[in-house]
Structure 1
Amino acid sequence: MAADEGKRRGLGRGLAALIGDEPTNTTGAGAPAAKISPNTVPIEFLRPNPFQPRRTFTADDLADLTASVAQKGVLQPIVVRPVSGATNSFEIVAGERRWRAAQAAKLDRVPVTVRDLTDAETLEIAIIENVQRADLNPIEEADGYDRLMDEFKYTQADVSKLIGKSRSHVANTLRLLTLPKKVRGFVASGDLTAGHARAIMGHDNAVALAKQIIADGLSVREAEALGKAPLADAPKGGGKSSAAKRPKDADTKSLERNITDALGLAVSIDHKGDKGGTLSVSYRTLEQLDEICRRLAHGKI
């Protein structure tokens, strides 16, 4: 219920509306007030946000910000929320990079804006802040969207409205989570772009193709051609293979029905004996395709 309430309160309001302008008591729930400035707190009072979608903070990334903070201080307050039941303890909602830079610059105190926010609103703000500043790699962005949908029951339309991006962008980003873990790692590190990754999505040899794309420095168009090439194995002369002409046996038809019932979508199996085969899932809407991708990513198919 709390997640749904937070969703209703926050959805579509934008980052400024979620953060707000009014000051709040700077102590945890039920804790005595700390003897601190209304606008600054000791840096050790803050702790990272478990809802932070950004996972990678490199030294090079923080170097320029640390130098600026060391010279001019933290100019924009860090948005925090009180830790329930704890005294002088705050969870960072937005501004973890500033907090890390302040630590590296050896500051004692940092400016804060304290807000009473739900878990859903906390994740919303963290995602909006990072997406608007292009601070997230595509996999972190996809994980953030997926978490909103999985934990807080957002739809893709909700996420699209929240972050101010098209629904197709949200859908395409979420599909990256269906990639093999190794390929997702290449995308997260920047060795592979999201466009390259989508070109080999669903391929049995996606990891090998990803390595080849990186090694050869292929363009997205070249990656798309590479991803299609191994599949172009139709029999010469344009005729259908003998396996395709054979009627499906009872076991194959039964398996098709079972999977169709489980997914709620039409499934076709083309078994070619010792050579393996293909399993095809038909969908009518983008929502159905997205649901398949989500279930694959979570191992629920």
Structure 2
Amino acid sequence: MNEQPPGRRLGRGLAALIGDVNSPTPEPANQLAPDRTVPIELVSPNPRNPRRGFDEADLIDLAQSIQKHGVVQPVVVRPSPDQSGRYEIVAGERRWRAAQRAGLAELPVIVRDVDNRTALELAIIENVQRADLNPVEEARGYQQLIDEHGYSQADLGQVIGKSRSHVANTLRLLKLPDVVHDMLVSGTLSAGHARTLVTADNPAEVARRIAEDGLSVRQAEALAQTPAAERPSISRSAPAAKDADVLLLEKKLSDAIGMRVTIALKGNVGELKLVCRSLEPLDELCRRLGQG
């Protein structure tokens, strides 16, 4: 059977099924209207969805938004392959979970008749492009596509819009022990820190040291490359107190856009970080920026 290259087929298929996931606020032409509404109890999650963790506070925030505004983006489903009259989620399990919490009796859905392979591919790609996966889930999703559908690392990079090196570095995380995976899932350890551990002689011990001492990625890399018997004691210097003007600016920005804002300054270079528990405040910010 002749098939299009994975990148071309899925890149177009994903947009057709769930819109442009790279754009937080799709233009009206890309905003897909639901095919129908169905009783929420007839919708079930995809058992092979690579995403396993759903933040409780995130779900509560989204449920409150759904109670006020409804489900803005329909859930993409397919007819259940096992039970007649039921539907299986292709993309949007988080919205389905939050809608249940919000007490919705019916769910707006887009119904697409896709096979098991396409359902798995779309579940992985949608979650990766929306940054909904923790590093371990992302790595396992990539490995699933490689093992089951013969993707190369270059194919995956093209499909999900990441570099081949990003795919390769993410897959390397699977070589780490379970205790390090647990730290990645909980957020105790970042993916950047974890990548330094792949060649360490005792990655679990080094990971604990990184977390306890609050080491930077550069410090973690140096520690991981040093034999255990020769590892120096690395202490973390206390962060400098923030200027009162910076704190005031953080508060003003947070109040204005409805998201927590932090500003880090190092000389003439600065970093602005926005923290949001759902896509709704980010959508609203992008809408306001677009109006400007």
Same amino acid, percent of matched pairs: 58
Indicate yes or no: 2:12 matched with 1:13.
yes
Is residue 41–residue 109 contact of structure 1 (8 Å, CA) maintained in 2?
yes
Q: Tell me the residue number matched to 1:64.
A: 61
The superposition leaves residues 118-148 of structure 1 with CA deviations (integer Å, 9 ceiling, x where unpaired) of 2222122212222222111111111110000
Deviates more, 1:171-180 or 1:80-89: 80-89
For residues 35 and 91 of structure 2, the distance between their equivalents in structure 1, rounded to whole angstroms, comes to: 18
| Residue of structure 2 in register with 1:143 after alignment | 140
State yes or no: 1:45 paired with 2:6.
no
Q: Which residue of 2 aligns with 1:204?
A: 201
Aligned runs of 1:265-276 on 2, under 5 Å? none
User: In structure 1, which of residues 90, 93, 96 is the aligned counterpart of residue 90 of structure 2?
Assistant: 93
Aligned-partner Cα distance in 1 for 2:6–2:40: 30
Number of aligned positions between the proteins: 216
**What TM-score does the superposition give when structure 1 sets the normalisation length?**
0.66
Is residue 103 from structure 1 mapped to residue 100 from structure 2 by the alignment? Answer: yes
1:181 correspondence with 2:168: no
Shift of residue 11, structure 1, vs aligned partner: 3.5
Which of residues 118, 125, 130 is equivalent to 1:121? Answer: 118
> Could you say what secondary structure the match of 1:229 adopts?
coil
Note the residue ranges of structure 2 that are not aligned, 5 or more in a row: 20-33, 231-292
User: Greater Rg, structure 1 or structure 2?
Assistant: 1
> Which AA in structure 2 matches 1:131?
V
Partners of 1:71 and 1:18 lie apart in 2 by 26
Cα contact 2:201–2:228 (8 A) shared by 1: no
1:169 corresponds to which residue? 166
Amino acid at match of 2:79: P
CA RMSD of aligned residues (A): 2.4
1:11 and 1:58 map into 2 onto residues whose CA distance is 28
Q: Tell me how far apart the structure 2 counterparts of residues 48 and 139 of structure 1 sit (CA, whole Å).
A: 20
Match of 2:52 among 52, 55, 80: 55
Shift of 1:116: 1.0
For residues 102 and 208 of structure 1, the distance between their equivalents in structure 2, rounded to whole angstroms, comes to 42
Deviations 1:25-78 (A, max 9, x none): xxxxxxxxxxxx951000001001122111101211212111001111111110
For residues 102 and 6 of structure 1, the distance between their equivalents in structure 2, rounded to whole angstroms, comes to 36
Gaps of 5+ in 1: 21-36, 234-301
- 1:174 maps to a residue whose letter is L
Amino acid at match of 1:15: L
Q: What are the Cα deviations for residues 167-189 of structure 1, in whole angstroms up to 9, with x where unaligned?
A: 11101001100001111111111
Single out whichever of 79-88 and 134-143 deviates more from structure 2. Answer: 79-88
Compared with structure 1, are the counterparts of its residues 153 and 56 closer, same or farther at alpha carbon in structure 2 (3 Å cutoff)? same
CA–CA separation in structure 2 for the residues paired with 1:155 and 1:17? 24
Asked whether the 8 Å contact 1:51–1:122 carries over to 2, the reply is no
Residue 85 of structure 2 aligns with an amino acid whose one-letter code is: N
Aligned equivalents of 2:161, 2:197: Cα separation in 1? 28
CA contact (8 A) 2:206 2:224 kept: yes
Distance in 1 between the 2:17 and 2:75 partners?
14
CA contact 2:201–2:227 (8 Å) conserved in 1: no
Alignment of 1:195-274 (within 5 A): 195-230=192-227
Distance 2:144 2:186 in 1: 21
Q: Mean alpha-carbon deviation: is it higher for 7-16 or for 138-147?
A: 7-16
1:11 alignment partner, SS class: helix
Work out whether residues 53 and 126 of structure 1, in 8 Å CA contact, stay in contact via their aligned partners in 2.
Answer: yes
Q: Using the TM superposition, give the Cα deviation of residue 153 of structure 1 relative to its aligned residue in structure 2, in angstroms.
A: 1.3
2:8/2:159 contact within 8 Å kept: no
1:232: Cα distance to partner?
A: 8.4
CA contact (8 A) 1:180 1:206 kept: yes
| Aligned-pair CA distance for 1:151 | 1.1
